[in-house]
Amino acid sequence: MNASEHPAPALDVVIVGAGFGGLYAIHKLRQQGLKVRAFEAGDGVGGTWYWNRYPGARCDVESMEYSYSFSEELQQEWRWSERYAPQPEILRYANHVADRFGLRDAITFGTRVTRAAFDSAHSTWTVQTDKGESVTARFFVVAGGCLSLPRMPDFPGRDSFQGKLYHTGTWPHEGVDFSGMRVGVIGTGSSGIQAIPRIAEQARHVTVFQRTANFSLPAWNKAMPEDYEAWFKAYYAARREKARYSSAGIANHPTPDKGALEVSDEERQKVYEAGWLHGGPGFTRIYKDILSNEKANQTMAEFVRNKIRAKVKDPAVAALLTPTDHAIGTKRICVDTDYYETYNRDNVLLVNVREHPIEQITPRGLRTTEKEYELDAIVFATGYDAVTGAILNIDIRVDGGPSLAEKWAQGPKTYLGLMTAGYPNLFMVTGPGSPSVLTNMITSIEQHIEWISDCLRYLGQKGIRRMEARTDYEEAWVRHVNDVADTTLFPRANSWYTGANIPGKPRVFLPYVGGHGVYRMKCADVAFKGYEGFTLQP
């Protein structure tokens, strides 16, 4: 049977994930008449917000912006209760979207995609799951999330621990009652910084094992002011449009025209104070050169260091909590409620595991090179195999050739973070080389899904069965992503943005730092030029 006689597959698109990316992909692609099916590892929708149920979990992009913009009715009718939505509310929202747009029947829950094989003779992907199912479709869309493969450091003795072990990214659905317990928390990234204050309120004692101090800004979270919500909703279309052409996909972020060193010390201090009182992650964008000029960055870093010193009563603890090894904003900035204040509590101890690394987990607790700590529970807030982890967790091959993991052994290579040369008809949602984790994820997800949906419509209209990124365009894009990153301070930090948190992961700056708006225009241009840089075959 040759390709033209081969029956068309029953599905047009198979999708990995039913988080915000997968849900919108199902909706959008179905709207244009495509037959789609999604596989989701969790037993429900919501992705990150399905798994991350640790105490204190909430989004640090404001609720009015961390939400879909594709439906005016949806954005008008949904009501957020707080400035920064807590995890249960975001999960309710994801469920509401799934029901409102009738998306559930496209999703197979509790099922992981393990393999995907492209057959060039028929231009189809055959996708296999851990439940033994195999489906074939013309296109394969991976929307598995940028921070979805939890990482647990391989400390010896983990299985010997007689208490309970948790990872923030796979938190028990029934919740955890830490009352009366001695709890150890490993990790002080965004997850640890959110969880530690809430755990400390409940537990008998908390020991925080910190390797690197992080910069954290106050959230000043509060109940959603009704007038603010009404104002935002009245101007929603314009706010969303502004977000779409902004650097971080967030309309409320500052759009500075000045550098930090262009103003007097006094003015800068005033601006920082006002920014601090506003709170949230937009703080690092107050001046245009904070993330590119070391001296400018120092002025902001020192301002925040002084805030930490003022909050923490014990000067030795304050010194340990004060970041000195990276420029502010070059590791993902954290946003907190009472994080630093928590170290003034009598039941909280900060341990420096940079000086005395964790040696092993013991039956009774945890031993550093200095001493053993007795614990009833250990919380790993140790992060993720970010950006590439979920994609490479699937064995992806074309005609039995090398896996995508082999192709990316020295670091991911993509064209626009959307496709990778040699793997036709495979689209990545917020893949490496796209702005993704440097932006409001929902803005970036919507842009990618809309680009993919326009692209699939175009391919349908032109009778094209196979689309593939060209190697020369991919190489140029990878170079561009690196060149832009090298104009900033980002690559200097040992962060998950560069893969530095995973032993053996190639050190490559993973997201595109050129800004969401600029990137959106590049993608639109590529489409306008008939998908320039892609090979299209009938």
Question: Where on the chain is the footprint of ligand NAP (CB under 6 A)?
Answer: 58-60, 147, 153, 168, 186-192, 194, 209, 211-212, 332, 353, 358, 381-384, 437, 496, 501
Q: Which is nearer to ligand NAP, 58 or 122 (CB)?
A: 58
Smallest gap from Cβ 167 to ligand NAP, in A, equals 9
Smallest gap from Cβ 240 to ligand NAP, in A, equals 20
161, burial (CB in 10 Å: exposed 0-12, middle 13-18, buried 19+):
buried
Length of the chain measured in residues: 538
The DSSP 8-state label assigned to residue 120 in this structure reads: T
Q: Which is nearer to ligand NAP, 111 or 498 (CB)?
A: 498
Amino acid at 135: V
Smallest gap from Cβ 251 to ligand NAP, in A, equals 17
Smallest gap from Cβ 520 to ligand NAP, in A, equals 21
The DSSP 8-state label assigned to residue 87 in this structure reads: H
Rounded to an integer, what distance in angstroms lies between the CA atom of residue 470 and that of residue 369?
A: 51
Q: Which is nearer to ligand NAP, 386 or 456 (CB)?
A: 386
Q: Which is nearer to ligand NAP, 353 or 485 (CB)?
A: 353
Instruction: Please give the biggest Cα pair distance in the chain.
Output: 77
Rounded to an integer, what distance in angstroms lies between the CA atom of residue 402 and that of residue 301?
A: 45
Smallest gap from Cβ 334 to ligand NAP, in A, equals 7
Smallest gap from Cβ 383 to ligand NAP, in A, equals 3
- C-alpha pair distances (Å), 239 with each of 74, 107, 248, 449: 15, 32, 13, 20
The DSSP 8-state label assigned to residue 126 in this structure reads: E
Smallest gap from Cβ 440 to ligand NAP, in A, equals 10
Strands 134-142 and 11-16: parallel
Residues 6+ apart with CB under 8 A from 131: 110, 111
Q: Which is nearer to ligand NAP, 378 or 419 (CB)?
A: 378
Torsion region of 220: left, alpha or beta (phi above 0 gives left; psi -120 to 50 gives alpha):
left
Rounded to an integer, what distance in angstroms lies between the CA atom of residue 317 and that of residue 321?
A: 6
Smallest gap from Cβ 275 to ligand NAP, in A, equals 18
Backbone phi, psi, residue 363, to 5°: -55, -30
Q: Which is nearer to ligand NAP, 129 or 194 (CB)?
A: 194
- C-alpha pair distances (Å), 290 with each of 26, 261, 328: 39, 10, 8
Smallest gap from Cβ 85 to ligand NAP, in A, equals 10
Position closest to ligand NAP via CB? 189
Q: Which is nearer to ligand NAP, 196 or 251 (CB)?
A: 196
Q: Which is nearer to ligand NAP, 324 or 461 (CB)?
A: 324
Q: Which is nearer to ligand NAP, 189 or 424 (CB)?
A: 189
State the first-to-last Cα distance of the chain, in angstroms, to the nearest integer: 18
Of the candidates 209, 227, 14, the residue with the CA atom closest to the CA atom of residue 124? 14
Of the candidates 49, 22, 50, the residue with the CA atom closest to the CA atom of residue 38? 22
